[in-house]
Structure 1
């Protein structure tokens, strides 16, 4: 018997399930075996294969609701997302399940569903994305902190946490820093203030100081000014420190204003060229 003939011999007409979502869990287990048996021999992409796969999904959607029930404390909108994500886990389980495993499909599918939900929380719950290593370290840190606080009656030190967690003190501090990325607050959020009672968080955030940008320029400019001759440095000092006019500088040097202008332009061009080359 050829492979095609053997496949045709195994393929039987699947029962028509009018409303798979209303099938009881007991009946769903029995029907699922039949549908999985046929799904294994049906050609992928055919209407029969699609019918078998879709029916399996709808019949076992109660597994998703069962797994999602442990997260019932979440908001309504979050629960809708959890069910959708859990359904993806159910579909993955259906696509990978084989009757030859000799295990109940429910036992096989629930870990897939829960795993997909947990992955969803891991990827979306953090306000700032951090590596999975630090996400797991944060959970470990929270448990260790609570355990030591109960045992010692005080907040544990970094050294005590590192010993319990079997991590270096640097890794503990890194986990603490990563914990700040778990939640975020609006800059308009009100917080208590000792002076005015309440104030917005944004009021406590410093503004940019544009003058700080000049620090780098001054540091880069200092050796170039030191490389000028005495007269050039004197002209720069009188013009930009003493804030004298070109005519006043000319009087101090005993030269005309035009000559001061030429000297100043030449010196500034030299400094500008040096700054550009440094940049």
Structure 2
């Protein structure tokens, strides 16, 4: 799940978006809610099949012409996939309402790491034969992400240096001049909270391999301990056998210790 809050100018209410992954007849999809001003209220359901464009159906109850619309969204991902949106440098959408009005939008967003340049073009009309185009000012954005709750979620903040599109012409004595009505300025454009998926559990094969390795290690420890015990017992037996053999050899050769020889002489003298 992902929720975002986009700050807007000219006194407009912040734009709130919430997205939730769902399954539509075993097809991955995303359900979204957009709210802000009454005209911004919108419910959408869009497919999210990898390597395919997205098909989106929307319901906007406060739209004056028609609340229902169908849109085809293309991106620069594999096969025209627009997701993930942060990785798509170009996103194009063609939307048709139930009343027959057609609108087009084009978003250019080349990025390098957390930095991106964003510009949007919109074309809309009340009928398929009449349309009006509008372009937004360019914006250089930077994205900062902060993990929360031990990595279970992430809060991302989008900063932007906005370059206004307003340019006026005029001057004294009819001399033409170009002047920017406003200088570029820093804005806080968007705050998003996204739940991060848990790390994938170890596969059964990996778990079995780890169990086998641990079992082998314990078996090796037991064999090494038994080998040390058998080696110590063999050493003790060899020492005892050497001692017994030496004593038996001395007895068979008639050897007497000095103490035994003195006792023998004393016995002979008594006789």
TM-score by length of 1: 0.18
Task: Indicate the structure with greater helix content.
Answer: 1
Task: Indicate the structure with greater strand content.
Answer: 2
- Greater C-alpha radius of gyration: 2
